[in-house]
Structure 1
Amino acid sequence: MKKRRVKLEDIARKLNISIATVSRALDKNPRVKPSTREKVFKTAEAMGYMPNQIAKSLSSGKTNIIGVIIPRYDEPFFIEVCRGIDHYAREHNYKILISSSRNSFEFERENLISYERGIVDGIILSPTHETETFTHIRSIIGKGIPVVLFDNIKEEVSGADHVLIEDDKASYEAVEHLIKTGRKRIAFVGGIKEKKVFQDRFKGYLDAMQANQIEVLDELILHCKSLDREFEDTEINEFLSNLPEFPDAIFTCTDNYGLLTMKTLLKMGYRIPDDVAVIGFGDLGLGEVFVPSMTCIAQPSFEMGQKVAELLIQQFNEPVDKNHRKKVVKLKTELVLRDST
C-alpha cells in the first residue's frame, strides 16, 4: 500500500498543538519556545516529514531555483555552460532546473511560460536560431522576472544582462594564423546560416581573408543545414569528397565540425597538417585527445556558465528595472595551437 505523505496537521495532531505552531517551529520562528521547537523537529524527523517546497515558495515568494533554457542537451558547449551555472548556483544556495528548446522558437516560448508561473526565481536563456523576435523575453522581464541571455544573442534586450564572446574576432584570429603559416586556399565549415554565432564566425573568416587579399571561393564554403550529428557527418563528407580542387586549410566553427572534418580527411588519405591544416572552435576536450590533436579557439564555456549565474543572482538583490539593460559581458577566447596546424 502506498504511504501517504506526512503533512503539518499530522505532526500537530501527534503533539496536540496547532498547525500554525508546527509551521512556525519548522521555520525556526523565535516566537516558539525552544523546547517546543525541539519536539516538533524530532517528531517531524521520526514521521518522515518533508517540507512542501511549492507551498513554502508561495508564502516566501522565493523558490531558490534558477531556470535554464538551452537549445539542445547533446552539445558539449551547453553541457559545460550548465556545469558552470550549477557550480556557481550551488555555492550560493540555488539549484538549477534545465529544459531544452530543441532548437525551436515555439518550445523556447513554452518553456519561458512554464517558468513564469513561479517555478523559478529567474531565468538564464540561450536563444535558438529561430528566435527572430524577443517580445516573449521582454514580456517576462516586464513582469519582474530577472533574465540573463548568453551565446546566440541577435539583438540587445533591455532589462536583461548579456554574456557572450566576440565570435568574429576569434574566427579572424584563427584564419589569420592559417594565413601566416602559408595557407592560402582556406575552406570554411560552419553551421546553419540563421544562427547568430555562425554568422559572426563566418564574418571573421571573410574579414581575415579580405584583409590579407586572399580570394574567397564559394566552392570552399559549407554551411551545414542539419542539427543532427549523424547528418552533419554526411554533409561534411559530401562537401570534401566533391571539391574540384582541395584546400590547404579548413577553418571549422565548432569542435564537432573540426573532428568530423579531420576524420573524413584521414579516411581520404590526406595528411594533417602536411596536406591540410584544421582549426576547430570550442576546445571542449575531445580535440586534445584526437590523433592528431586539433588546434582550437578555446571559448570559456564553464566560466560563461559561472558568469551568467553570478549576474542573475546579483539581479535578485537589485531593484526591478525593466527598462535598463544592466550589463554586457564579453569573455575572452584563446587560440590553442596543437598538431593539426
Structure 2
Amino acid sequence: MTLKKKRVKLEDIARKLNISIATVSRALDENPRVKLSTREKVFKTAKMMGYMPNQIAKSLSSGKTNLIGVIIPRYDESFFIEVCRGIDRYVRKHNYKILISSSRNSFEFERENLISFERGLVDGIILSPTHETETFVHIKSIINKGIPVVLFDNIREEVSGADHVLIEDDKASFSAVEFLIKKGRKRIAFIGGIKEKKVFQDRYDGYKKAMTKHNIPIYEELILHCESLDRENEDTEIQDFFNNISAIPDAVFTCTDNYGLLTMKTLLKMGYKIPEQISVIGFGDLGLGEIFVPSMTCIAQPSFEMGEKAAELLINQFNEPNDVNHRKKVLKLKTELILRDST
C-alpha cells in the first residue's frame, strides 16, 4: 500500500537547511536581503523536496494573487470558449492566469461564484451575466469593495464602475435580415434563444425592424424562442418548429451558429434544398459553419477579440488603483456578415 505523500511546507525546507522559515520565504521571493548563495541553496532544496508555493498564502502578504476570475453562463457554448481563449491570451502576456467558473445559467450560482471570488481568490473579475440576472446589486457590491470588474455580452443595464464590452446585436441582426429581403426573401423565420436574455431580445428587435422597414409581414408561427438550455433539447425544439408550421419559410435568421446548423440539418433531412428553396443565416461564425455542407452564412461576432478587450480593460483598471471614481468605459465591437453557400 502506497502512503500518501505530505505536501512540503516552508518549515520543512527550513528544518532541512537549519535556517529560519522567514529566510526561506524571503529566498523563494528572491529578496536581495538574503545572500545569493543562500537563495540558490533554498531553491535547490525546494526543487529536490518537491515544494509547491501556496498562492493564497503568498497573496496575504502581497495583496495580489495574479489570478483573474471569469464567470460565464455555460461551458458548452463555442462563443464563451472563444472569449475565454481571448482573455487567457491577453492576461498571460501580463503575468496573470484565469480561473473560469460557470453560473450554469443561474442567477443564484452567479452570485455564489462572485462571493467565492471576492474572498481574496482573484484580483479582478470578468463576467457575462445570466438571462436570470435582473438586479446588479451583487456586482455593484463587489465594485464598491474595490475589486475591478468588466462585464461582457449579455448586459441588461449599465453598471457604474464596471467596464462593458459588447456588440450592437440589433444592428447586426437588422443587416442580416435586410440582406435576405434584398435577395427577394419574404417569408423569413426567426429562431432565437430564451426570451429573457437581452442579446436575444436585441437580435429579435433587429429582425422586426428590418421586416417593418421593408413592409414584410411578421408571422407569429415563424417565430421560435427556444426555451432549452442544452443542445439536445434545442435540436428537438427546432425539429418540432419546422414540423408544425403551415408553410415552410423561404429564409431563416438564427441567433446563434448552433441554431443555424440545427436548422440546416433539420431542413436537409426534410428534403429541402439550401439555398435554392430556403436561405439560412447563423450568428457567431465560430468555425463549424464554414465546414458544414452547404457552408453557412454567418454574422461574424468577434468573440476572441471580445475576450482580449475585456482583459485589457481589466488590467488597465489594475494600473489605476487610486482611481476610486473609475469612469466606466463601454466598448462596442464591430460585426461582419460572412457570405457562404447557405444564402
Alpha-carbon distance between aligned partners in 1 of 2:131 and 2:104, rounded to the nearest angstrom: 11
Instruction: Give the equivalent residue in structure 2 for 1:89.
Output: 91
SS in 1 for 2:43: helix
- Alignment map for 1:124-143 (pairs within 5 Å): 124-143=126-145
SS in 2 for 1:189: strand
Instruction: Give the equivalent residue in structure 2 for 1:258.
Output: 260
Select 1:146's aligned residue among 145, 148, 152: 148
Instruction: Give the equivalent residue in structure 1 for 2:20.
Output: 18
Aligned residue identity for 2:337: L
Could you tell me which runs of 5 or more consecutive residues in structure 1 were left unpaired when the two chains were aligned. Answer: none
CA contact (8 A) 1:157 1:325 kept: no
Alpha-carbon distance between aligned partners in 1 of 2:56 and 2:321, rounded to the nearest angstrom: 24
Instruction: Give the equivalent residue in structure 1 for 2:103.
Output: 101
Return closer, same or farther for 1:313/1:35 CA change in 2, 3 Å cut-off: same
Return closer, same or farther for 1:241/1:232 CA change in 2, 3 Å cut-off: same
SS in 2 for 1:303: helix
Return closer, same or farther for 1:47/1:27 CA change in 2, 3 Å cut-off: same
SS in 2 for 1:62: coil
Alpha-carbon distance between aligned partners in 1 of 2:323 and 2:242, rounded to the nearest angstrom: 51
- Alignment map for 1:170-189 (pairs within 5 Å): 170-189=172-191
SS in 2 for 1:54: helix
2:47 matched to 1:45? yes
SS in 2 for 1:84: helix
SS in 1 for 2:179: helix
Alpha-carbon distance between aligned partners in 2 of 1:279 and 1:250, rounded to the nearest angstrom: 6
Alpha-carbon distance between aligned partners in 1 of 2:243 and 2:17, rounded to the nearest angstrom: 78
SS in 2 for 1:284: coil
SS in 1 for 2:160: coil
Instruction: Give the equivalent residue in structure 2 for 1:75.
Output: 77
Q: CA deviation at 1:25?
A: 1.3
Return closer, same or farther for 1:93/1:324 CA change in 2, 3 Å cut-off: closer
Q: CA deviation at 1:324?
A: 3.9
Which deviates more, 324-333 or 150-159? Answer: 324-333
Select 1:223's aligned residue among 222, 225, 237: 225
Alpha-carbon distance between aligned partners in 1 of 2:57 and 2:18, rounded to the nearest angstrom: 23
Alpha-carbon distance between aligned partners in 2 of 1:264 and 1:231, rounded to the nearest angstrom: 14
For residues 288-323 of structure 1, the C-alpha deviation after alignment (integer angstroms, 9 at most, x for no partner) is: 111110000000111111111111111111135565
Alpha-carbon distance between aligned partners in 2 of 1:315 and 1:324, rounded to the nearest angstrom: 8
Q: CA deviation at 1:95?
A: 0.8
Alpha-carbon distance between aligned partners in 2 of 1:49 and 1:244, rounded to the nearest angstrom: 69
Alpha-carbon distance between aligned partners in 2 of 1:63 and 1:185, rounded to the nearest angstrom: 55
Alpha-carbon distance between aligned partners in 1 of 2:289 and 2:278, rounded to the nearest angstrom: 16
Could you tell me which runs of 5 or more consecutive residues in structure 2 were left unpaired when the two chains were aligned. Answer: none
For residues 115-157 of structure 1, the C-alpha deviation after alignment (integer angstroms, 9 at most, x for no partner) is: 0001111101000000000000000000000100000000000
Instruction: Give the equivalent residue in structure 2 for 1:164.
Output: 166
Aligned residue identity for 2:175: E
> How high is the TM-score relative to the length of structure 2?
0.97
Aligned residue identity for 1:104: S
Which deviates more, 221-230 or 130-139? Answer: 221-230
Alpha-carbon distance between aligned partners in 2 of 1:6 and 1:194, rounded to the nearest angstrom: 50
SS in 1 for 2:100: strand
CA contact (8 A) 1:144 1:320 kept: no
SS in 1 for 2:282: strand
> How high is the TM-score relative to the length of structure 1?
0.98
Alpha-carbon distance between aligned partners in 1 of 2:77 and 2:135, rounded to the nearest angstrom: 24
Alpha-carbon distance between aligned partners in 2 of 1:11 and 1:247, rounded to the nearest angstrom: 72
Instruction: Give the equivalent residue in structure 1 for 2:66.
Output: 64
Aligned residue identity for 2:162: A
SS in 1 for 2:228: coil
Return closer, same or farther for 1:151/1:322 CA change in 2, 3 Å cut-off: farther
Alpha-carbon distance between aligned partners in 1 of 2:57 and 2:185, rounded to the nearest angstrom: 64
Q: CA deviation at 1:75?
A: 0.6
Consecutive aligned runs of 4 or more in structure 1 exceeding 6 Å deviation:
none
SS in 2 for 1:43: helix
2:57 matched to 1:55? yes
SS in 1 for 2:52: coil
Aligned CA RMSD, in angstroms, stands at 1.1
For residues 211-240 of structure 1, the C-alpha deviation after alignment (integer angstroms, 9 at most, x for no partner) is: 111111111111111112111111111111
For residues 49-108 of structure 1, the C-alpha deviation after alignment (integer angstroms, 9 at most, x for no partner) is: 221111101110111111010000001111111111111111111111111000000000
Identity %: 83
- Alignment map for 1:287-326 (pairs within 5 Å): 287-319=289-321, 321=323, 323-326=325-328
Q: CA deviation at 1:2?
A: 1.8
